[in-house]
Amino acid sequence: MERTVASVCVLLVLCVAVVDAVPDCLDFEDLWPGYQASGVVTAGYQGFDWTWGKWMTKDNIPSSGYHNTIEGNVGIYTPWEYTVIMERDDPFDVYGARVGAAWNDYQDVKFIGYLDGSVVLEQVVELGAQSYYGLDIGCGDFDLPGLNFRGIDQLAIAPWDVLPYATDHGSDSGSGDHICIDNIWLTAPPGSSDDSPEPATWLLLACTGLAGAVARRRRS
């Protein structure tokens, strides 16, 4: 009986580990209008309220860090070098993102996490010489240390320092310290409004049921 209980506990722990280890990617592909353009990220998009959020398609400005950073068809950026803020009532976790500078190399980006209006986490990421080409933070190839923003209800992403020896790739198409963002990795599908369990929840329920079945079989 003790061996059975131990086996059941191990099974549940493994299932919970699997559930906790799979973040979801907010990739903005559902904003693709079918042609090259840019626009405003509307309030309520994917369950978040957005401040200074604007989207852009990959080839809207071909010779730029926007093109280099966006992996699919669409990403978001910091218009007029303002800070992009995404927030919602229910706390969420952020593990990573793909970020790049629109015009500079050696530009940094700052992530700020809030809970109930107070700053609880801050992290400046040094993008280095490759910032003009887009880098994965804590996802994809793990080129840079990941984010570990747990239990926040607001995330701010801000253009930060541009080092003195940075190269400005600006042109007639534009210039400045804008940041482009794609593939934000979150713990759960943002903006889910229905009450049905998410796939991870189904997995945990299935594991729990399987564990119960094993225990009943042992007793019979």
pLDDT tens by residue, 179-198 = 999 999 988 644 544 444 44
* Helices 2-20 and 199-219: angle between axes, nearest 10 degrees: 170
The answer, yes or no, to whether residue 163 has pLDDT greater than 80, is no
pLDDT recorded at residue 175: 76
Neighbours of 170 (CB within 10 A): 13
For residue 35, the 8-state DSSP code is S
Q: Is the pLDDT of residue 29 over 80?
A: yes
- DSSP string covering 119-170: EEEEEEEE-GGGGGG-EEESSTT--BPPP-EEEEEEEEEEEEEE-TT--B--
Start-to-end CA distance of the chain, whole Å, equals: 12
Query: Rounded to whole angstroms, how far apart are CA atoms 160 and 132?
Result: 14
pLDDT at res. 212: 56
Global pTM? 0.73
The pLDDT of residue 21 is above 90:
no
- What percentage of residues in the chain have a pLDDT greater than 70? 67
The predicted-structure confidence for 46-67, as pLDDT tens digits, reads as follows: 999 999 999 999 999 998 999 9
